[in-house]
Amino acid sequence: MKRKLLAVVIAATMMLTACCSCGNHEDNSGTGPDDGKVEETEKTTTSETTSETTAATTASETTVEEHDGPVQNGSYIIFGHYEQDGNESNGPEPIEWIKLSEEDGKVLLMSRYILDYQAYNNDYAEVTWETCSLRKWLNEDFLNAAFNASEQEQILTVINSTPDNVTAWGTSYGGNDTEDKIFLLSSEEAAALFANDDARAVGDCDWWWLRSPGYIQVRAAVVLTIGEIFTKGHVVNFNYHDHGVRPVLWLDVDQ
């Protein structure tokens, strides 16, 4: 079943207006001894990807579909439900996903909006994507809350590799490969799958987590409010209700 919705793409000028109170500010206030020493930001400039195309970012109107077959990259589909409007009495809302790429009968989807706010890790500690609490939350709490049994069968379990973060300050370990149903983009994937910073930005002065490590092991990479990939990262146990989660999954379109 298809229904037309107006998908307003947020322009750069709107983003600057929405985020005028927070802008591109990086909070270096963490609790670790090494945090706050470096003011420069780093932006990912190179990446590798097996995806053939990147998400479309300039359409002013697009089709939002129930999952019932292939859709074009950059379009949106409805799949699963999750509480999003803060009113639990009306039930969870349908989740809109951006189609980022397609290969071999599966599509890569990322939530169009931030669906929740979580710390990358509940405690201040040296962690990787494999060991962080956010990975556990995504593959247990979120998975079971957002999808019924039939929908969970359509979500593929994939092996994710998370590259090390090599910076002027040293190398942070990306960790072991993981098997995930739900995950986050890496810094490299976030660079490759979106055309520019504006396409990555979600507005409302919100950052969103990536699974890649920051410049030290107690930080994780984020996308800033203006869509810039910040590989220095934020402290893993930051959760100021502005560190957003945009889940990612591979969906089997042949089921």
3-state secondary structure the chain: CEEEECCCCCCHHHHHHHCCCCCCCCCCCCCCCCCCCCCCCCCCCCCCCCCCCCCCCCCCCEEEEECCCCCCCCCEEEEEEECCCCCHHHCCEEEEEEEEEEECCEEEEEECCCCEECCCCCCCCCCCCCCCHHHHHHHHHHHHHHCCHHHHHHECCEEECCCCEEECCEEECCCCCEEECCECCCHHHHHHHCCCHHHHCCCCCCEEEEEEECCCCCEEEEECCCCCEEEEEEECCCCCCCEEECCEEEEECCC
pLDDT in tens, 31-53: 443 443 333 333 333 333 333 33
pLDDT in tens, 63-102: 445 544 444 567 899 999 999 998 999 999 999 999 999 9
Position 34 in a domain: no
Give the residue, 127 or 24, on which the prediction is more confident. 127
Position 78 in a domain: no
**Rounded-to-integer distance, Cα 157 and Cα 121, Å:** 22
**Rounded-to-integer distance, Cα 234 and Cα 230, Å:** 8
Position 22 in a domain: no
pLDDT confidence tier of residue 254, bands split at 50, 70 and 90: confident
Position 32 in a domain: no
pLDDT confidence tier of residue 238, bands split at 50, 70 and 90: confident
Domains in the chain, number: 1
What is the per-residue pLDDT for 2? 40
Position 47 in a domain: no
Q: Which residues pair with 243 in a beta bridge?
A: 207
Position 110 in a domain: yes
Domain span at 109: 91-252
pLDDT greater than 70 at residue 114: yes
What is the per-residue pLDDT for 242? 76
Position 106 in a domain: yes
pLDDT confidence tier of residue 54, bands split at 50, 70 and 90: very low
Single-letter code of the amino acid located at 59: A
Position 107 in a domain: yes
